[in-house]
Amino acid sequence: MRKKSYNIVKIICVSLLFFLLFPKTTDAYIDLSTYKLYTGKFSGEIQANAALNKLHSETEWTGKYQPTGTYEEYYQIQSSEIFDQGHAKNVLNQFTTSTGIPAYYVGLGDKLLYYQLITGGFSGEETVKQILQALETETGITGNYVGIGEKLDYYQIISGGFNGETTAKQILEQFKNSTGINASYVGLGEKLNYYQIISGGFSGQARTIEIMEQFKRETGIGAFYIGLGTPQSYYQLVSGGFSGEAATQNILQQFEKATGIKGSYVFIGNNRYQIISEPVLGIKQVNIGRDFFKSNNWSITYKDTGRVGYDRYQIKSVPVLGTDLVNKGRNFFKNNNWSVTYQATGQTGYERYQVISDPVLGLDLVNKGRNFFKSNNWSVTYKPTGQSGYERYQIISNPVLGLEHVNKGRRFFINNNWSITYKPTGLIGYAGYRVISKPVLGMTLVKKGQEFFKNNNLSATYQATGNRLEQYQIVIEDIIGYENVRAANLKLNQMYGWIGTAIKTKVGPQLMYTNYGLSLNSMLDIQMTRSPQTDMYRNERRYVSAEFVDMARQVITGNGVNLRTAPSIDSEIVQKLNSGNSVLVIGKIGDWVEVRVTWQNAKQEDVKSYLDPSNFSIDNTKDYFQFLKLSQSAQLNAAEVNDKILNGKGILAGKGQAFVDAAKKYNVNEVYLIAHALLETGNGTSKLANGIEVNGKTVYNMYGYGAVDACPLTCGAQTAYDNGWFTPEAAIIGGAKFISEDYIYNTTFQQDTLYKMRWNPIAPWHQYATDISWAYKQVSSIYNIYQMLDNYTLYYDVPKYN
């Protein structure tokens, strides 16, 4: 290893500048421990195996299943009592369909006989239907009816034709009232359009009414009138007062004669009278009346009556069927030289109609209907419908269970004075039933079954059968990293709904990345300015001009001497050598000397291969130890350290707890302290480690602090005395403080990994070596110690370049 020293003031100033220019950002640790994931809950080995196969098929993950040591019980669900076998069957079918749980039903109590109730005869099918419905409503007993006696044909009675729909309606009602037979009427012949006859305009409402009434009398056609144009208000003229009744009568006669407006007078007191006209239509008539009074200098006013009317009116007929009636109505107006039109209403109808009965059973009813028409001298026929039926019917109940229900049905008929008997069917049943599930596994299905019965207004209980099934879970092993096991657990929950538990089976590395704000190429450029060295080419042939080599002393005698790859001035210059540099002389070839040089300038690609963290894999644990955080405790067990590392190591044997305590106190990796101590003490055998007396006290120095080549024991012992290292434990713990302060937590250069000690991304000019493979070479002793241990945690800090 080649070391360099620097001016401390220069280093501090430049370092502070670098920290300002390149702020350090550190990511959280990534846990790379090994985990097992226990997931899912499966009833029985078959279900667990199926789930495992599905998992492998859909994710390609491997795992195994294992028993959990717990069991799930089998249960049977029982409904409350159901009081009808048909209802029990229906509940059973719904239960299995809705829940998917197989089940059956059983009878409760003693067996009972089924009976059928049989009535006497009832006249008419409608009557027996009503009685059957009443039976079900009042007793809950259902049944059917059957015809008794001879089967008869159904017929329809068909009348001849009647003029007009109104006539047909009247005859239909008479027929129904007289015979009790239901019927309807239908049109005969061609369907005709309905029309409306519309007159021209007539002046005055009274005249219009007079003409309308004349139209109705002469044609037999109904009609009405409507106003034409804009409606106008009706007014009354009210005069001032006139003296004397005779004078008032005279003025009223003059008014009526002059205006054509009728009026009357009223006494208003003191022998004075007032003239009031009949209502007149519109302001024009009002003004005619007012002009009469004004021309005689008599006072006159008028008032609105609140009624409205028209100057002209129009007569419209009710809808008439066919053009014959239209022409009859039109001729009335035409014969009087009055304008007339007509229009279709959009409706249609018939001139003649016939009455058709509903189907009637037997010829007795047919003859009854025929006689109605014959007695009125109206034509009538009848025809069979092709259907048949009975005059009388009998009710036969569906089977009823037990005499209690039989008697309930009998009372219904007896109370109505209807004949009733009963007979056994030969079937037997129970007063009540219960639906019982087949054994189901676990309470989930039990609750599902209970919910069904609750929703159907039934209660339910359950009981264990005594059988049970062992529970299993799937185990996925060797999942590396907490984030990976967390992601796997989440995926299984999303895919299958499984809830998993992760168990750490092996403490694995804790990985963090530090971003230094530099690209790899920028960092490489900086490192190339530091004259990085390598011994990779120590066995490669190199040549120096014989003029600058002291063959006897094997040293260079000039400055800036070219070291070449071949004995020729045209060959590549590897580097410059200076006076005093040692070389291994192999031999002389003409004017050239073949030499070997251990330390040579490293090529850029060589530097990059060691500088780039991505060239080292965490899977190759030894190489990765250059990123091991020496500022992080490995969480070692002191007993394991004593047994596997310090056993047989002289004074250090049994001192594992001291190294553990030192690591905790000063936040230094225990293995780094142990490796340092083993190296400096010669595996615990050096004099300085085993105690030297100073001023009457034995002191110990485990890390060689204060010991230099010219003064190894005295100076090292004095340093131990000055720091109070009077026991091996004190020397181990106290010396750790110096390692922590001088190397790991140096206030200027915090270099807590071998990689940082070599390359120092924060302050590249403060490096412990120029050898590009220095960090790589230093890991062996630390790695070898870890290989002896089982219980530890590795913390890595890996640079991240942009």
Contact 360, 388 (CB under 8 A): no
Rounded to the nearest 5 degrees, what angle is found at the Cα of 412, between the Cα atoms of 406 and 413? Answer: 95
DSSP code of 142? Answer: -
Q: Where are the alpha helices (DSSP H) in 61-124?
A: 85-99
Residue 17 has a pLDDT of 39
Question: What pLDDT digit, counting tens, does each position of 727-763 carry?
Answer: 999 999 999 999 898 888 887 777 899 999 999 988 8
DSSP code of 740? Answer: I
Contact 793, 510 (CB under 8 A): yes
Question: What pLDDT digit, counting tens, does each position of 255-306 carry?
Answer: 999 999 999 999 999 999 999 999 999 999 999 999 999 999 999 999 999 9
User: For 636, how many CA atoms within 13 A lie in the half-sphere containing its CB?
Assistant: 34
With tokens 């002046």, the residue in question is 203
Rounded to the nearest 5 degrees, what angle is found at the Cα of 208, between the Cα atoms of 203 and 214? Answer: 140
Rounded Cα gap, residues 25 and 471, in angstroms: 49
Rounded to the nearest 5 degrees, what angle is found at the Cα of 515, between the Cα atoms of 511 and 521? Answer: 115
pTM above 0.75, yes or no: no
Rounded to the nearest 5 degrees, what angle is found at the Cα of 270, between the Cα atoms of 267 and 271? Answer: 60
Question: What pLDDT digit, counting tens, does each position of 47-86 carry?
Answer: 999 999 999 999 999 999 999 999 999 999 999 999 888 8
Q: Which amino acid is at 337?
A: N
Residue 11 has a pLDDT of 32
Query: Any residues with CB less than 8 A from the CB of 128 and at least 6 apart, and which?
Result: 122, 145, 393, 394, 395
Query: Any residues with CB less than 8 A from the CB of 18 and at least 6 apart, and which?
Result: 762, 763
Contact 516, 22 (CB under 8 A): yes
Q: How many CB atoms lie within 10 A of CB 798?
A: 19
Please give the sequence-ordered ranges of beta strands (E in DSSP) within 171-262, or none if there are none. Answer: 183-188, 192-203, 223-228, 232-243
Alpha-carbon Rg for the chain, nearest whole angstrom, is 63
Rounded Cα gap, residues 256 and 263, in angstroms: 7
HEC per residue, 182-199: CEEEEEECCCEEEEEEEE
DSSP SS3 for 768: coil
Q: Which of 686, 753, 757 is nearest to 720 (CA)?
A: 686
Question: What pLDDT digit, counting tens, does each position of 305-324 carry?
Answer: 999 999 899 999 999 999 99
Contact 586, 531 (CB under 8 A): no
- Residue 104 structure tokens: 């059956």
- Give the model's confidence band at 418: pLDDT under 50 very low, under 70 low, under 90 confident, else very high: very high
Share of the chain above pLDDT 90, in %: 87
Cα→Cα distances 186→194, 259, 321, 356, Å: 17, 59, 16, 7
- Residue 170 structure tokens: 């009247």
DSSP code of 613? Answer: G
Residue 26 has a pLDDT of 53
- Residue 292 structure tokens: 């009469």
Please give the sequence-ordered ranges of beta strands (E in DSSP) within 278-391, or none if there are none. Answer: 280-281, 300-309, 312-317, 320-321, 340-349, 352-357, 360-361, 380-389
DSSP SS3 for 296: coil
Per domain, the residue ranges of the chain are: 1-33+507-532+603-610+624-631+745-802, 152-190+351-389, 192-229+313-349, 250-308, 537-601
Does the structure show a pLDDT above 50 at 22?
no
User: For 420, how many CA atoms within 13 A lie in the half-sphere containing its CB?
Assistant: 19
Polymer length in residues for the chain: 802
Rounded Cα gap, residues 35 and 579, in angstroms: 61
- Residue 468 structure tokens: 């049970």
Rounded Cα gap, residues 646 and 488, in angstroms: 41
Q: Is 305 left (phi over 0), alpha (psi -120 to 50) or beta?
A: alpha
Mean pLDDT on 771-789: 91
Question: What pLDDT digit, counting tens, does each position of 757-772 carry?
Answer: 999 988 888 887 899 9
DSSP code of 742? Answer: I
Contact 757, 763 (CB under 8 A): no
Does the structure show a pLDDT above 60 at 327?
yes
Rounded Cα gap, residues 77 and 378, in angstroms: 76
Question: What pLDDT digit, counting tens, does each position of 487-538 carry?
Answer: 999 999 999 999 999 999 988 899 999 998 999 999 999 999 999 999 999 9
Rounded Cα gap, residues 768 and 529, in angstroms: 16
Rounded Cα gap, residues 106 and 632, in angstroms: 74
DSSP SS3 for 626: helix
Q: What does pLDDT average to over the chain?
A: 93
DSSP SS3 for 232: strand
Q: Which amino acid is at 22?
A: F
Q: How many CB atoms lie within 10 A of CB 615?
A: 10
Phi then psi for 715, rounded to 5 degrees?
-70, -40
Rounded Cα gap, residues 580 and 174, in angstroms: 151
- Residue 96 structure tokens: 């299995």
- Give the model's confidence band at 24: pLDDT under 50 very low, under 70 low, under 90 confident, else very high: low
Q: Which of 453, 472, 550 is nearest to 78 (CA)?
A: 453
Q: Is 566 left (phi over 0), alpha (psi -120 to 50) or beta?
A: beta
Does the structure show a pLDDT above 90 at 112?
yes
Question: What pLDDT digit, counting tens, does each position of 197-230 carry?
Answer: 999 999 989 899 999 999 999 999 999 999 999 9
Q: Is the dihedral of CA 192, 194, 200, 203 positive or negative?
A: positive
Q: Which amino acid is at 458?
A: L
Rounded Cα gap, residues 83 and 430, in angstroms: 8
Rounded Cα gap, residues 603 and 537, in angstroms: 11
DSSP code of 777? Answer: H
Cα→Cα distances 671→347, 498, 630, 778, 787, Å: 112, 42, 9, 13, 11
Q: How far is CA 622 from the centre of its chain?
A: 50
With tokens 């409507």, the residue in question is 226
Mean pLDDT on 131-139: 97
Tell me, yes or no, if the two domains 152-190+351-389 and 192-229+313-349 fold the same way: yes
Residue 747 has a pLDDT of 78
Rounded Cα gap, residues 187 and 164, in angstroms: 9
Q: Which of 410, 408, 368, 360 is nearest to 385 (CA)?
A: 360
Q: What is the CATH number of domain 152-190+351-389?
A: 3.30.70.2030
Residue 767 has a pLDDT of 83
- Residue 92 structure tokens: 């059973």
Q: What is the CATH number of domain 192-229+313-349?
A: 3.30.70.600
Percent helix, strand and coil across the chain, each rounded to 5?
A: 40, 35, 30
